[in-house]
Amino acid sequence: MNGVHDMGGMDGFGKVEPEPNEPMFHTEWEGRVLAMVRAMGAAGAFNIDTSRFYRETLPPNVYLNSSYYKKWFLGLEDMLVDKGYIAAEEVAAGHALAPAKPLKHGKFTVDDVERVMVRGKFGRDAQAPAKFKPGDRVRAKNIHPATHTRLPRYVRGHVGVVELNLGCSVFPDSAAMEAGENPQWLYTVVFDGAELWGPDADPTIRVSVDAFEPYLEPA
Amino acid sequence: MSETELRVRALETVLTEKGYVEPAALDAIIQAYETKIGPRNGAQVVAKAWSDPAFKRSLLEDASKAVSTLGHVSRVGDHLVAVENTPLRHNMVVCTLCSCYPWEMLGLPPIWYKAAPYRSRAVKDPRGVLADFGVSLPKETEIRVWDSTAETRFLVLPMRPEGTDGWSEQQLAELVTRDSMIGTGFPKAPGAPS
């Protein structure tokens, strides 16, 4: 979806302001939110792509005005309500009011913590031969899906070169919508600055994205 | 208590009462993030690459595999790519769409990495972004920006500082900063105040 989360190339957000000695969490609740998202995901309530989709579908003003973990919290709440794990009235009441919905992997307990600290595996068996190889010129398709996609707007319609074949991987566009993993080939595609930003661009800049095969066509 | 804090507590109570999570398990997740991951993991990998040419080759060829051979940072998963800075090329990592970041190597990302100014400008004006960090590169140096749009995670291998001949891996690791592994900074110079 063409949301405000897709920020590459936008102007007007100002300077980057690093915070000296930044703490891991700025308030205690930020840690609780992170932990709840990781726990409910590991318990099978949602996958990582769905959780990203819920954050990016927050209303633009909410997205831009909320801190990072506030976005995580709002996305988590919406997702758990939509999927029937909780009701909005329960959060308002601060207590469970209805029976639980079974989780795919059951209750998240202390024994499961080790598991969430290991990064997930997204590689899958190939469904078909790869269409592209390193060195191929490809165009990022001019597509504007209203649902989740990982093809940023700033590369759409532009021509780049395949640099790496990263293997076959879960396709976030499908997984986020809970339409199955639909594995697709994944490539690092590199673009010249001038191709993306026009003739006035700094000639020393090159930018790459990781692009799934359905995002690309031969150029 | 802020409104958000009250709502977060309410949600945790609901999830606990419904039997979805144990609060002790949430405590343990937070503790694990606070104690087990952080830029020291990445710094050890970089210091080893600076010291051991065979390790450096395997890191650049298949970072997931190379890092998995190091017992202390073995949880990196399958999708790590290391990119090497050279006198001709400087690498910088961003996630324009959200906040993808090599947690296992660098810990949780800092706020600026997840915020609009960095995400919007890193792909269009990386030199301007570097200037915000007080970093400047020769104008002919290529800047390669890696936008983390899938599950691949990128670790920048910075250049080894001069004047560190004969240093141990442990000494070298002290020079490796988090920002140098994102590409928004350089390693510390030997003898510089920490």
* A-chain residue closest to B31, CA distance: A31
Cβ B11–A43 below 8 Å, yes or no? no
Q: What pLDDT is recorded for position B32?
A: 92
Q: What pLDDT is recorded for position B72?
A: 63
The answer, yes or no, to whether residue B194 has pLDDT greater than 80, is no
Q: What pLDDT is recorded for position B121?
A: 98
Cβ B112–A18 below 8 Å, yes or no? yes
| Token pair belonging to B140 | 């002919």
| Token pair belonging to A95 | 């207590």
The ranges assigned to domains in chain A are 28-116, 137-218
Nearest to B96 among A123, A152, A172 (CB): A152
Q: What pLDDT is recorded for position B1?
A: 81
Q: What pLDDT is recorded for position B186?
A: 97
What does the pLDDT look like over B78-88, one tens digit per residue?
Answer: 899 999 999 99
Cβ A13–B121 below 8 Å, yes or no? yes
Q: How many CB pairs under 8 A join A and B?
A: 255
Task: Report the CATH fold assignment for A28-116.
Answer: Cyclin A; domain 1 (1.10.472)
Beta bridge partners of A190: A161, A208
Angstroms from A81 CA to nearest CA on chain B:
11
Nearest to B29 among A76, A113, A196 (CB): A113
Q: What pLDDT is recorded for position B36?
A: 87
Q: What is the CATH code of the structural domain delimited by A137-218?
A: 2.30.30.50
What does the pLDDT look like over B32-60, one tens digit per residue?
Answer: 999 988 999 999 999 999 999 999 999 99
Sign of CA pseudo-dihedral B58, B62, B63, B65 = negative
Q: What pLDDT is recorded for position B191?
A: 82
Sign of CA pseudo-dihedral B42, B87, A207, B139 = positive
Q: What pLDDT is recorded for position B179?
A: 98
The model's confidence at residue B76, banded by pLDDT at 50, 70 and 90, is confident
What does the pLDDT look like over A127-138, one tens digit per residue?
Answer: 899 999 999 999
Q: Annotation-wise, does B194 bind a ligand?
A: no
Task: Suggest the residue from B9, B75, B97, B141 to mutate for an interface test with chain A (most A CBs closer than 10 A).
Answer: B97
The answer, yes or no, to whether residue B74 has pLDDT greater than 70, is no
CA distance A171 to B142: 31
The single-letter code of the amino acid at B151 is: E
Q: What pLDDT is recorded for position B37?
A: 87
CA distance B143 to B71: 33
Q: What pLDDT is recorded for position B168?
A: 97
Q: Residues with Cβ < 8 Å from B61, sequence gap 6 or more? A: none
CB < 8 Å & 24+ apart, contacts of B48-52: B48/B169, B49/B82, B49/B157, B50/B160, B50/B164, B50/B169, B50/B172, B51/B168, B51/B169, B51/B172
What does the pLDDT look like over B108-148, one tens digit per residue?
Answer: 999 999 999 999 999 999 999 999 999 999 999 999 999 99
- A42 chain-B contacts, CB cut-off 8 A: none
Task: Suggest the residue from A4, A7, A22, A62 to mutate for an interface test with chain B (most B CBs closer than 10 A).
Answer: A7
Interface pTM, i.e. ipTM: 0.97
- Helix %, strand %, coil % for chain A, to 5? 35, 15, 50
* Three-class secondary structure of residue B135 per DSSP: coil
CA distance A33 to A29: 6
Using a pLDDT cut of 90, give the percent of chain B over it.
90
CB < 8 Å & 24+ apart, contacts of A201-204: A202/B125, A202/B126, A202/B127, A202/B143, A204/B139, A204/B140, A204/B141, A204/B142, A204/B143
Residue ranges in chain A whose pLDDT is less than 70: none
Active-site annotation of B, residues: 95, 98-100
Q: What pLDDT is recorded for position A160?
A: 98
DSSP label of A147 = S
Task: Suggest the residue from B64, B121, B141 to mutate for an interface test with chain A (most A CBs closer than 10 A).
Answer: B121
The mean pLDDT value of chain B amounts to 94
Cβ B98–A52 below 8 Å, yes or no? yes
* A-chain residue closest to B118, CA distance: A16
Q: Are A145 and A215 in contact (CB under 8 A)?
A: no
- B34 chain-A contacts, CB cut-off 8 A: 24
Helix A68-82 crosses helix B3-17 at what angle (to 10 degrees)? 40
Q: Are B93 and B179 in contact (CB under 8 A)?
A: no
